[in-house]
Amino acid sequence: MTSLHAEDIAPGLLGVSVKDIDDKVTTLGAVKGGKAWLVVNVASQCGYTRQYNGLQALYDNFKSKGLVVAAFPCNDFGGQEPASEKEIKKFCKTNFNVTFPIYAKVAIKGNDAHPLFEKLTGKDAGHPGPVGWNFNKFLIGADGKLIARFGSDVEPDSEELEKAIENALKARK
């Protein structure tokens, strides 16, 4: 499936082709029941890695309302995600009991940046600019548009993030 075809099926950012952690080509919009997506660039050897616990708690709390947490491992910052997809999957399950979708490792900056992150950070994005570190969070609505962006220091259990998620879920199609 090409990105163009995928975008015809799912709107905007939700139609960009991605690979899941098991190397299957899919889109964010293919996740059943999704009404809002929290895309996070993650790494297993980062000071923010503990945020996996909070991301899982967010997912547990809001999944039934339509939230999808989507983790994208990235080795762009300090080489903090050197592991293979198989090792990443095991790490997330063993250490944090992650049940939300994890996608294949991607580049999010530079010439090799994945198209999803090019769109999330590009000049036409609602909140443009490069990602500065691991565990940045991008909230995408049911219309496939970027609603909000949060830096690494915004914890998953922050009032700011939870309110944005609640509002996104209320605004769903």
Name the 3-class secondary structure at 5: helix
* In the chain, beta strands by DSSP E: 17-19, 25-27, 36-42, 67-73, 137-141, 146-150
> Is pLDDT larger for residue 7 or for residue 90?
90
> Count of CB atoms within 10 A of residue 93's CB?
12
DSSP 15: G
Which residue type does 142 have?
A: A
- pLDDT reported for residue 34: 83
Mean of the pLDDT values across residues 128-137?
93
3-state secondary structure of 165: helix
- What is the tens place of the pLDDT at every residue in 154-173? 999 999 999 999 999 998 65
Can you give the pTM of this predicted structure? 0.91
Residue type, 119: K
Listed by start position, the domains of the chain span 3-170
Q: What is the pLDDT of residues 28-65, one digit of tens each?
A: 988 877 889 999 999 999 999 999 999 999 999 999 99
Q: What pLDDT sits at residue 172? A: 60
Active-site amino acid positions = 46
In CATH terms, the fold of domain 3-170 is Glutaredoxin (3.40.30)
What are the structure tokens assigned to 46, written together? 């980062």
